[in-house]
Structure 1
Amino acid sequence: MTEPVRLSKRMSELGLSSRREADEWIARGWVRVDGQVVSELGSKVLPGQKITVERQAAAEQSKRVTVLINKPVGFVSGQAEDGYKPAVTLIKPENRWPEDPSDEQFHPTQLRSLVPAGRLDIDSVGLLVLTQDGRIAKQLIGETTSIEKEYLVRVQYTKPGKLPDADLKKLCFGLWMDGKPLLPAKVRWQNDDQLSFTLKEGRKRQIRRMCDMVGLKVVGLKRVRIGKVKLGDLPVGQWRYLRADEQF
């Protein structure tokens, strides 16, 4: 006999919504289990039971926006800290990329519950995703995510000579952090002082710490791609909407 699980957790596992969205919809009576409305928070279901959501839920979800921003140095990804502004404060009409191909109209309600799906250090620049859609957040930062993130990293070698090939291989696989092995990464030279890192995880200050382990000092770090979505020509400090035809 399979154990019952919370309905909101099961909806998240099925990709119907985030857990928070699921709880909102359950409370509004928008969720059915085997055809019956379930409106009590904390209700449990068996894995084989059929879960459906009312049309209103899908309509509300489709109104949720996802924004791509080229984060400048000096802005934090999430909540304001130590006097630094969060990246969401850049999401205003005057900072929208004039070449944004989306027909979406900006409205202040889009700033409500617009949260970063992944972090970029205060000293790092490049592609940051802010979303109101719990499904996208789960896709990008959920525990089971396998979406690649690509970075261009300018470095200085702090020892004589140049970085040995054996240490480049270590960056690709073999380093440990916080007592756990890092997942395999793709690391290669772009030119004499710049590496390309492609990762499937994002531990705190991971690239800077990886470089430190092999004697490299990070001088600049820029995220240029998340999954299939590229930073492209988006200027620093400007933003655009994720298009309907774009998928991570």
Structure 2
Amino acid sequence: MSSPTPPPTPHPPERLSRCVAELLGCSRAQAEQYIEGGWVRVAGEVVETPQALVDAAQVALDADAPPVAMVQAAEPATMLLHKPAGVDFEACTSLVTPDTRADGDSSEVRMLQRHFAHLAPLMPLDTEASGLVVVSQDGRVARRLNEDGAKIEQEFLVEVRGATGPYTLGKLSRGLSYEGRALPPCKVSWQNEVRLRFAIKDVRPGQLRHMCAEVELDVVAIRRLRIGRIGLNKMPPGEWRYSPVGDRF
């Protein structure tokens, strides 16, 4: 009577980067770029951590993986979010999840799990306002918007109620002050009978509501449409899209 066949000896776990380097015949650095780009699967699941300990027998490349020579280091991500009214600015990052990416995102950026870590909201927006908010993990974008934000024009649509006069637009566009500081001129126009369009720089919390109150208008709603060259476009509240690397505000 023959003895039963012993079970196969399990492979000792190895670093994923080493497995991929051996699989592709490439350097460890190239293997790490491949992994961080989301092109490697372990037991059928994408793993983006080069240091992960895995069974080499379960490592495989994604079916759509490009040649190793074409893979570059994963860039930090910047997202453009349509913040709903009532959401605190600092809580915006909690809305950016894989499930809330806009169907109409035409950026062609490959979504990675690493894109949802260490995000920071930029260019503050009042809690009661809705509209465009930049959320990024890219230090270059953060520096640009934090250091030069006061110089970047923003566009707002403000719904108001109240009686208007012949000098309403003139007063809004020049001559007002806020928190003890004279406000620089801005561009204001009527979109329709109840909506004002502001093109304005260096907007501080509560400023638009104060400006409207100064001309005896009550603010019903505020929506930010644009930051510099980047527009909100037709994106539903609570959804986001990628801002491609190289896009300038």
* TMscore range, shorter length: 0.5 to 0.7
Residue 223 of structure 2: aligned partner: 222
Instruction: Using the aligned pairs only, state the percent identity.
Output: 37
Q: Is the CA contact (8 Å cut-off) linking 2:78 and 2:134 kept in structure 1? A: yes
1:142 aligned onto 2:143: no
Amino acid at match of 1:198: A
Residue 205 of structure 1: aligned partner: 206
Could you state the TM-score of these two structures normalised by the residue count of structure 2? 0.66
Shift of 1:237: 0.8
Shift of 1:104: 2.5
Residue 117 of structure 1: aligned partner: 122
Partner Cα distance (1:244, 1:147) in 2: 19
Shift of 1:118: 1.0
Shift of 1:123: 1.2
1:238 aligned onto 2:239: yes
Residue 31 of structure 1: aligned partner: none
The DSSP-based 3-state class of the residue aligned with 1:142 is helix
Amino acid at match of 2:98: P
Q: Which has the larger radius of gyration?
A: 2
Amino acid at match of 1:156: R
Structure 2 gap segments, 5+ residues each: 1-71
Partner Cα distance (1:153, 1:87) in 2: 21
Residue 88 of structure 2: aligned partner: 76
1:71-220 to structure 2, matched below 5 A, reads: 71-78=83-90, 86-142=91-147, 145-157=150-162, 162-220=163-221
Q: Is the CA contact (8 Å cut-off) linking 1:70 and 1:235 kept in structure 2? A: yes
Could you state the TM-score of these two structures normalised by the residue count of structure 1? 0.67
Residue 75 of structure 2: aligned partner: 63
The DSSP-based 3-state class of the residue aligned with 2:244 is coil
Q: Is the CA contact (8 Å cut-off) linking 1:172 and 1:187 kept in structure 2? A: yes
Shift of 1:109: 2.9
Deviations 1:213-246 (A, max 9, x none): 1111110111111111111111111101002353
Amino acid at match of 1:244: V
The more displaced of 130-139 and 218-227 is: 130-139
Amino acid at match of 1:104: V
Structure 1 gap segments, 5+ residues each: 1-58, 79-85
Q: 1:89 to 1:141 in 2, by over 3 A?
A: same
Aligned residues: 178
Q: Is the CA contact (8 Å cut-off) linking 2:156 and 2:224 kept in structure 1? A: yes
Partner Cα distance (2:161, 2:203) in 1: 22
Q: Is the CA contact (8 Å cut-off) linking 2:97 and 2:116 kept in structure 1? A: no
RMSD: 1.9
Deviations 1:91-147 (A, max 9, x none): 111110112123333334323331111111121111111111232223223257421
Q: Is the CA contact (8 Å cut-off) linking 2:158 and 2:222 kept in structure 1? A: yes
The more displaced of 190-199 and 113-122 is: 113-122
